[in-house]
Amino acid sequence: MAPVVSKIAIIGAGVSGLAAAKQVSRHNPIVFEASDSIGGVWRHCSYSSTKLQSRHCDYEFSDFPWPERNNASFPSHTEIIEYLDSYAEHFDLLKFVRFNSKVVEIKFVGSDHDSPAEAATDFMSKKPGSLLPGHPVWEVAVQTNHSKDVQWYAFEFIVVCIGKYGDIPKIPEFPHNKGPELFQGRVLHSIDYCKLDKESTSTLLGGKKVAVIGYKKSAIDLALECAEANQGPEGQPCTLVVRTLHWTIPDYWVWGLPFFLFYSTRSSQFLHERPNQSILRTLLCLLFSPMRRGVSKFIESYLLWKLPLQKYGLKPDHPFEEDYASCQMAIMPENFFSEADKGKIIIKKASKWWFSKEGIEFDDNTKVEADVVVLATGYDGKKKLKAILPEPFRSLLEYPSGVMPLYRGTIHPLIPNMAFVGYLESVANLHSSELRSIWLGRLLDNKFKLPSVEEMIEQTNKEIDISKKTTRFYKRHCISTFSINHSDEICQEMGWNSWRKKSWFSEAFSPYGSQDYNKEN
């Protein structure tokens, strides 16, 4: 029998794991962290130049503001780690964390059925009741300090906070005999690059022909680091290979207006569709659709004026709104295009590419010689989950829409006594994780009940349908265009007042953030 050490297990001590631990701390949870420190991707998947994509005040816990929260600069990853360390120390969260404890397997033991599949089916057929039933539902296998030995523990509830990023790299597929094994240089993923110290990165990039694959934030930052390591006559240019274009922004101002006015206020989000809206509101959204497209065009006009996107062939064919609605809007580093002007960054657009002995080749019959190829191609978050979840729950991750259906961004309707924090994205992921952790904490304390499985599935399908209508990149499960409404529904379910501002003017025209949810009202 696995020993029962706590009612609740939390897997992962990143931002989401810390938020969850704080909100369920009265249950004395056990937090299993595979590494030797807290911070998640901020500590283990960041470059020396990595910065947050927003200001201090837009990335903070509701009850723990930054010391200099009005600082308009973007915090570096080291500042964020210091902030998370201070948060954990202030609320005494480290006492819950077991470091160097990697969860390698989870077993469902929720009933006396002969098989997990029968037990799970029985669980799913019932309307959700208490999520802390008083007896073990899950058993968790943990490897400590890289030992081959496994220790089993039993819990009533599990909160999965391992996230979609880090740990398992997403590697592109290549034609036969045209993969990395053919290349005579060095190939590494951005997660491997993150583990290098400053001296090692200088040795890796300096004087080398480097190709960076990707066009998300990590790829852009890495290309700039490569350019800065190759200054002077001996320096080599870095080739940034771009497959899918996305809009980038230089700052959070558009023609002199603050960016939040366009998407992050209650009045601006009124233009966008949201789940559970009335027929009248659906008609109003249809009526306001030209205004919604006009806002997107207005922002695009500023970006095309401010950044040389057309000069370098980086103007996307899709509207700006689609990138915002899928949480793919990235801040362009200040010096990126100046390095491109100097020839230190070469941009190559290609839909298909593969390795050769000397570098990489493209479907337009062009080639790029390289000594080093860095794959900034993202991470396989689904594979991370599949590695620990048992059947039949593992199969539930193969959802037709490609989006894991999470009720309130937290509960999978068909997986009993388990929550997922950090899998739903918004403009401020820390705020999303904290608010949903507050919701989860109150749910575990029986302050309210979950609806039926059918109702939860219906709600998640509505959210996915809205995302499908808004952006072709909906599989990221981002709620940025209806985030305030999403928070409203969470507040209503918890018994909180959904309107959090002090005046109707603020409600209509000021952005919502963590500080608006720092207490019940």
Q: For residue 224, is pLDDT > 80?
A: yes
Residue-number span of the structural domain to which 348 is assigned: 180-250+307-375
CA distance 56 to 73: 7
At 509 the pLDDT is: 94
Helix (H) or strand (E) run with residue 492 in it = helix 483-494
The pLDDT tens digits for 137-152 are 999 999 998 888 999 9
Amino acid at 425: E
Mean pLDDT of 206-218: 94
The pLDDT tens digits for 490-520 are 999 999 999 999 999 999 999 999 999 988 7
At 121 the pLDDT is: 63
Q: For residue 345, is pLDDT > 60?
A: yes
Instruction: Annotate 449-471 with three-state secondary structure.
Output: CCCCHHHHHHHHHHHHHHHHHHC
Residue 432, CA distances (Å) to 78, 303, 443, 478 in order: 22, 28, 16, 11
Residue 221, CA distances (Å) to 46, 71, 105, 154, 245 in order: 10, 22, 35, 43, 16
Structural domains of the chain, count: 2
Question: Does 5 or 75 have the greater pLDDT score?
Answer: 75
- Do 351 and 405 sit in the same domain of this protein? no
- Do 369 and 384 sit in the same domain of this protein? no
Q: For residue 7, is pLDDT > 70?
A: yes
At 234 the pLDDT is: 85
CA distance 57 to 66: 7
- Do 405 and 338 sit in the same domain of this protein? no
pLDDT level of residue 404 (50, 70, 90 thresholds): confident
- Do 210 and 312 sit in the same domain of this protein? yes
Q: Is residue 345 part of a domain?
A: yes
Q: Is residue 208 part of a domain?
A: yes
What value does the CA radius of gyration of the chain take, rounded to a whole number of Å?
24
What is the bridge-based pairing of β-strands 257-258 and 186-189? unpaired
3-state SS of the chain: helix, strand, coil percent to 5? 35, 15, 45
Two tokens, residue 312: 């370098």
Q: Is residue 262 part of a domain?
A: no
At 182 the pLDDT is: 94
CA distance 43 to 170: 20
pLDDT level of residue 87 (50, 70, 90 thresholds): very high
Helix (H/G/I), strand (E/B), else coil: 88:
helix
- Do 21 and 138 sit in the same domain of this protein? yes
CA distance 359 to 368: 6
Q: Is residue 431 part of a domain?
A: yes
Mean pLDDT, the chain, integer? 91
Mean pLDDT of 409-420: 94
- Do 40 and 160 sit in the same domain of this protein? yes
- Do 357 and 415 sit in the same domain of this protein? no
CA distance 178 to 360: 9
pLDDT level of residue 119 (50, 70, 90 thresholds): low
Q: What is the CATH number of the domain that holds 414?
A: 3.50.50.60
- Do 244 and 362 sit in the same domain of this protein? yes
Q: Is residue 279 part of a domain?
A: no
- Do 135 and 187 sit in the same domain of this protein? no
Q: In what order do the strands lie in the sheet with 151-155?
A: 101-108, 138-144, 151-155
